[in-house]
Amino acid sequence: MEQVVLLAEDGSAIGVEDKAVVHHADTPLHLAFSSYVFDSAGRIVLTRRALHKKTFPGVWTNTCCGHPLPDEDMAQAVLRRLQDELGMKCSEPELLLPRFRYRAEMDGVVENEMCPVFRVLCDDEPTPNPDEVDSTERVAWAEFSDAVLNGTREISPWAKLQIAELVKLGPDPLQWPVADRAGLPSAVRLGSPLQ
């Protein structure tokens, strides 16, 4: 049974819970991540969540989200989920938003996460796992982010909040600065070679 790391308000680990039962109307704060995969042309890979997912089914979102396993390095968790969900073998994730946190609700199911955000560079073509991903799309970042922020493109609530922060890093996602890991929740394990 896959488990997620439960968190205190200060970002420290306070236990684990089975992933299958952690999301409900009163979801406890837990550790997650979001990743944004860009190709060498600066286009983002977007995914539409599988229609049978318990949380936010059929919703378009960033490339991949997930939960590190207890004691798992977060960069390795990002790469694991990209491989599992999209069949993509990618380069080392780069930390962009160490302090991102959100709470979102859909149909009585709540997401409540401390969720660092990573950029991943990869030109692999996604091959979606139908258990996780309904479909994918590759789109220019400027076009996509503008549409999300002006309300003409529907996207998951966490991605909308993340995009509002990411655009502050500059117009070219390939040139965004890597963040200082000092801002990460203390429960995050993140070894080298990440900067």
- Residues placed in the known binding site for Mn(2+): 23, 30, 67, 111, 113
Which two tokens mark 157? 């609530």
Termini Cα distance of the chain: 32
| Adjacent-strand bridge partners of 60 | 48
As annotated, the binding site for Mg(2+) includes: 85
**DSSP H/E element including 67:** none
Q: Judge whether 113 counts as a catalytic residue.
A: yes
Asked, as a colleague might, if the bond just before 193 is cis with ω within 30 of 0, I would say yes
Nearest to 45 by CA among 121, 147, 104, 148: 121
Q: Out of 113, 115, 122, 132, which one is annotated catalytic?
A: 113
Q: Judge whether 143 counts as a catalytic residue.
A: no
d(Cα 176, Cα 169) in Å, to the nearest integer?
Answer: 6
Indicate the residue type of 80: R
- CB-count burial class (<10 Å; 0-12, 13-18, 19+) for 97: buried
User: Which residues are annotated as catalytic?
Assistant: 65, 113
